[in-house]
Amino acid sequence: MPTLMNTLLLLGVIQGGITGVGLLLHAGRRNGTHWLALAVLALSLTLLRLWTHAVGLESQPLFRRLPLSFDLAIMPLFHLYALSLTAASAASIRRGFAWLAPWAVFMTYSVLVYLASVGHGDLARMDAVAGQWHYPLVKDIEDTLTVALNLVLAGLIWRRIGRHHARIEHWVPERFAALLGLLKACMTLALVAAAINLISFAVHDVLELGDRHYVSQAVEACYVALVYIVGIVGFRLKDLPQFAPAQAGPPGPAQTEPALAETYRQIQALMQVEQLYTDPDLNLNDVAKRLNLPAAEASRAIRDASGRNFRTYVNDFRIESVKRKLTDPGYAHVSILAIAMESGFNSESSFYRVFKAATGLSPTAFRSKHPGTCGDDPV
C-alpha cells in the first residue's frame, strides 16, 4: 500500500503540473480559469511535499523543511475561481483575496526558516535553528488554521457552485450544465477531504488517539482525484457563457403582459426565421442580447408563453427540424447523426435521449415509419 500511494502521489504531482500550466497557457483568464490553474498547481506542490515526506527525502538537508506549504492556498484559489466562474462582482472577487492572506504569512515564514537553516549541513543543527524560530509551534497553528479554513471555504464554494448551477442549468447548452454539475461534485470531494482532515486533526491532535496514517491517506487520495477531475472540467468550462449578476438596488419594472407577448413573438421569429436553434452553443444570453433584454426577462417570456424552460424550448425546435428531415426524401441517404448535428444537437447521447422523450420512438424507428425516406443509414 505505501508503494502504491507513493506512486499515486507522484502521478498527481506530474498531472497537476501539466494540467496547471496547460490551463494557464490554453485558457488564460477566461471565466477565472487562471485561478483554477493556480489552485491545481498548489495542489500539485502540496502532493510534492507529501511525496518527499513519504519517500524519506526530508532526511536530506536540501529537502529539510522545503517551503512547499501550499495547503492554505488551495481552497482560497478555488474560491476565487468559483467567484469568477459564477459572475461575481469585481468587489466580491477583491474581497476573496483576503482568504489568501494566511497562506502568504505562513509561506513567508516557511521560506525564512528554510533559508536560515539550509546552510547547515548537519540535520541536528538545522532542527536546532528551526527550533529557535519556534517552528513546531507555528506549524501546529498552521495545520489548525488549514483544517478550519479549508472546511469553511469548501462549504462556501460548494454552495455557490450549486446555486449557480440551479440558476442557469436551463439557460445554457446541456454540456455546460452537466459540467457545472461535475464541478459541484468536485467541490463535494474537496468538502469531503476537508472533513476527513478535520477528523484526522481531532483524532490525532485533540483526542490523541494514535496514528492517523489511513486517514491521511484518504485525504491524499482525495487530493489526487481533485487534480485529475478539476483539470478536465476546467478546460471545458473556460467557454461557459457568463450571465451578468443582478444589479444592486431596487429591481427595474417588470415587463407587462403585452410586452412579454411581444418578446415571445420576437423570440419565435429568431427561431423560425433565423433558425438560431441550429447553433449547438446557443444560450439564453445570445437570445437576450439580440433583443436587448436581460436574460431573466427573455426566460420569463418563454416560460410564461410556452410553459417550458429555455433549453427545452430550443430542443423542441431541434426535434421538429430532425423530424422534418427524417421524413424528407432529400435526406434519405443522410445519416441520422448528421441530421441531428445539422439541427443543433452537439451530443449523440443527448440527442437520442431528447428525441425518444419527445416522440416515444428512437430516431431509427421514427424514420422506418416513413419508408420512402429510408436510405442506407450508417447510424
The pTM (predicted TM-score) of the whole model is: 0.84
CA–CA separation, 130 and 7 (whole Å): 30
306: pLDDT strictly greater than 80: yes
Cite the residue boundaries of each domain of the chain with CATH code 1.20.1070.
2-237
Q: How confident is the model at residue 41 (pLDDT cuts 50, 70, 90)?
A: very high
Cite the residue boundaries of each domain of the chain with CATH code 1.10.10.
309-379
Output the nine-digit C-alpha cell for 29: 483568464
| Phi, psi angle pair for 308, to nearest 5° | -125, 155
Helix residue spans in the chain (DSSP H):
2-26, 33-54, 71-85, 90-96, 101-117, 123-132, 135-168, 174-201, 213-237, 257-272, 284-291, 295-306, 310-326, 336-342, 348-359, 363-368
CA–CA separation, 319 and 303 (whole Å): 19
Q: Which of 205-209, 300-304, 310-314 has the lowest mean pLDDT?
A: 205-209
Spatial contact of 126 and 118, defined as CB atoms under 8 Å apart: yes
The CATH label, of 1.10.730, 1.10.10, 1.20.120, 3.40.1130, for the domain at 309-379 is 1.10.10
17: pLDDT strictly greater than 90: yes
- Give the distance between the most distant pair of CA atoms in the chain: 89
CA–CA separation, 342 and 79 (whole Å): 39
State the pLDDT at residue 229. Answer: 86
173: pLDDT strictly greater than 90: no
Give the mean pLDDT of the chain. 86
State the pLDDT at residue 276. Answer: 95
Q: How confident is the model at residue 217 (pLDDT cuts 50, 70, 90)?
A: confident
Eight-state DSSP code of residue 31: G
2-237: CATH architecture: Up-down Bundle (1.20)
Matching residue, cell 495545520 = 143
Of 287, 300, 373, residue with least CA distance to 330 = 373
pLDDT digits (tens, 9 = 90+) for 258-284: 888 999 999 999 999 999 999 999 999
Q: How confident is the model at residue 30 (pLDDT cuts 50, 70, 90)?
A: confident
